[in-house]
Amino acid sequence: MDYKDKIDVLLMFWDRKGNPRPKDTLYFGWKFKNCKQYLDVLAKYYHVDDMKQHMISEIENILNNSEYDECNISMKLVSWNVENTPMSIFYDDYGMKPIMEFRHIYNPKWSIPKNKIKQVIDSVRKDVKYFNNPKFAREFADDAIALYIYQIYNDTCVNSIISEVTDYIYEKYGFLSNINSKILDETQINELIEYYTNIVLSKT
């Protein structure tokens, strides 16, 4: 059976199964050589010219219509090296994965839940009292507050939106990706970090 025949068999299999996966070729004793080859076959299955651009358009639609209005952040996918990633079979979280890079604009109106920021302040305050040097105390407090605030911000705003994208892409196309997400301008969130750092240090 030549490559074209294998693809024809795979497309018929996908028609019955309903959701393509890279590892489906293993049922027939072969596998894709690379992700570019997989994308080309997906394009045949979905009848599109450019499979990567087709998926990116769907991702942009999800990002532009996200229902997480409490955060109100503008997020964009800036790169995704899916076609350049060597093909590997994904089992759970194992296997080489492409990288999705997102950039978003921080919303200064976002507020940290009061119960969470109180826990953060109390936790950092307990540790910072062990520093006798004011400079070291501020550096520690600043780093600790930044870690907590970024974690809370990502958990309440960023991760939920990105998960909506990655879940959709995996369920429909079988791609798992590593994530790189950054704020375009960190000035305002850094001001928030400094504000809470000063609160911690003012009562220690």
pLDDT of residue 70: 63
Reduced to 3 states, what is the DSSP secondary structure of residue 5?
helix
Query: In the 8-state DSSP scheme, what is residue 94?
Result: B
For β-strands 178-183 and 99-105, DSSP reports them as parallel
pLDDT in tens, 47-84: 999 999 999 999 999 998 876 556 778 899 999 999 88
pLDDT of residue 94: 45
The C-alpha R_g of the chain, in whole angstroms, comes to 23
pLDDT in tens, 83-141: 888 776 554 444 568 899 999 988 888 888 888 899 999 999 999 988 989 899 999 99
pLDDT of residue 92: 46
Whole-prediction pTM value? 0.83
Q: From residue 124, how far is each of 70, 115, 139, 189, 191 by CA, in Å?
A: 27, 15, 12, 18, 18
16-25, 40-49, 92-101, 174-183 — which is least confidently predicted? Answer: 92-101
